[in-house]
Amino acid sequence: MPETTSACSKTKAAGSAALIPSRADARIAGWLRSAHAARQRLLNIAFLVVGLGLGQGSIFIVQTTLVAAGEYDLLAAFGTHYSFAILGILLVDAGASTTLATAVARIGIGPDGREQFWRIFCETSVIRLVFAACVGAAALIYAFGIAGDGFTECYVALALPGLLVWAINAVGLLDGLRLSGVSGLTGAAAYIAAAIGLCLAAHRSTETAGAILGGVFSVGYLLTVGTQWIVLWRRGWFPQVSAPTQAGLVRAFKDGSAMLFQLVPGQINMRVQLVLSAAYLGAETTALFIYAKQVVTAFTQIIGFVLRVEFPGLVERLSAAGAHSPRSVLDAQKLTFYCAVLFAFGAAAVAGVAAALPGFSLHRATTMILSFAPTILTMSLSLMMIQALAALGAYGAIAAALTASAVAGVVVSYLLIGLIGVYAFVAGEFAFHLVGIYGVLRYLRRTHRAVATSARNHRALLAVGEEV
């Protein structure tokens, strides 16, 4: 008997010893996976920033050249029409880049998951085509029935194909596959095409300039969408046509309509502030306000890139039971939070130093930037909270939170502009962001409590069953 016990002990000891290397190997494998994921996130962010620099940077350079040449009429016409064309692109997409990325992250990439995803993609694309048709019809009515000038008619007629092509873009699929950097680089093609068109349109007739700029708009988005699908095809993702279901179309329409509220409130808030500034504060202050907002927007665009990179991980984190707390949201988006703090304090520090030099030519502008710098942090926190709801698929809650935010921002700006001037817009931005954060936190806490209560009830039922 002692010999048997001794043999068993030796066997257990040998088994434990065998487990040590395997545990070490698992730990090393975990570190390697973590390092690879971190490297992939950084590459995606770098590619997104490079895409931003190549695309919008090229337009900025051409615009600067045309300003020096005195081509103000062309610049004014291009700026107005291009800004509304970009708004049309956002309306056509209707937040599908987020909803499709969520679908990819949730469904997975197995054969069954792919089939289910392509059905969702086709349903979403049908709704996007409907939105594109509505936007296109409104644009044609305005161009040929209201505006009646050659530039607008030619621009709209040739830009509409770009809106239709965007209805089948693959941004959401790339983001869900953790290839958001690729979508950022491919997106630069549309901006570069616009910059080339702006060069070609100089010193042309009004109609010719409108035709060139509208045409290159469509060409740019055709190149962007085509490149996206080429990248996916090389990675084994071949587009498949799947018959949409009525329930799927209704879901896609509801999700798209709700996701539009992520765009519309911010657009309304900013435009109301511009109208108030022009009416109450004059042209110079309005120009300084726009300049400061451009700087803030540049930082928040980079924050948006980081959010896109972290989105698939956020979906996975919030899919776990009981992981709907605000802390879980922040833990899953640490990089975004660190970048927001760095940008806010960095912008404030640089602007503060420049504002302390009265002889500096941009003294007033840097003072304005200093006052708006804290909104980089509050805006980032608001975006992080909104993205958490998007990861949960709570698009109706997003719409409610952002609608309340827009109302708060407009009301605060209007009530305070007579008392504190342009700084009323700073207060309006804080109100816009904080109300949105509060709405999301309420939803997350309510959801977290509901999940916790359901888990307790389930455990109680199990305990009763065991006793019986």
19-28, 108-117, 125-134, 273-282 — which is least confidently predicted?
A: 19-28
More confident residue, 73 or 229: 229
27-36, 154-163, 290-299, 416-425 — which is least confidently predicted?
A: 27-36
State pLDDT tens for residues 197-253.
Answer: 988 988 888 889 899 999 999 999 999 999 999 988 888 888 888 888 888 899 888
Give 61-102 as a 3 state SS string.
HHHHHHHHHCCHHHHHHHHHHHHHHHHHHHHHHCCHHHHHHH
Tokens for 86, please give them: 């970009």
Could you tell me the pLDDT band of residue 157, with boundaries at 50, 70 and 90? very high
- Residue 201 CA: distances (Å) to CA of 140, 197, 465: 22, 6, 78
Q: Which of 16-25, 238-247, 426-435 has the highest mean pLDDT?
A: 426-435
**CA gap 179, 186 in Å, rounded:** 11
Asked if 404 contacts 353 with a C-beta cutoff of 8 angstroms, the reply is: no
> So what's the pLDDT on residue 359?
63
Please state the rounded mean pLDDT for residues 178-184: 76
Tokens for 167, please give them: 């209805």
Please state the rounded mean pLDDT for residues 50-54: 74
> So what's the pLDDT on residue 360?
59
182, pLDDT greater than 90: no
Per DSSP, 108 falls in state -
State pLDDT tens for residues 242-269.
Answer: 888 888 899 888 888 877 766 777 667 7
**CA gap 378, 272 in Å, rounded:** 20
> So what's the pLDDT on residue 460?
55
CB count, 10 Å around CB of 452? 14
Tokens for 139, please give them: 């644009």
Asked if 90 contacts 263 with a C-beta cutoff of 8 angstroms, the reply is: yes
Please state the rounded mean pLDDT for residues 435-444: 86
14, pLDDT greater than 80: no
> So what's the pLDDT on residue 19?
45
71, pLDDT greater than 50: yes
Q: What is the pTM of this model?
A: 0.64
Tokens for 298, please give them: 């540049």
75, pLDDT greater than 80: no
Average pLDDT, the chain: 78
State pLDDT tens for residues 82-128.
Answer: 878 888 898 898 888 878 887 877 776 666 667 788 888 999 999 99
CB count, 10 Å around CB of 322? 11
Asked if 17 contacts 153 with a C-beta cutoff of 8 angstroms, the reply is: no
Please state the rounded mean pLDDT for residues 56-69: 71
Please state the rounded mean pLDDT for residues 436-465: 67
> So what's the pLDDT on residue 32?
55
First to last CA, the chain: 42
Tokens for 179, please give them: 């290839």
Could you tell me the pLDDT band of residue 134, with boundaries at 50, 70 and 90? very high
Q: Which residue carries 């179309």 as its tokens? A: 249
> So what's the pLDDT on residue 160?
94
> So what's the pLDDT on residue 212?
93
> So what's the pLDDT on residue 1?
46
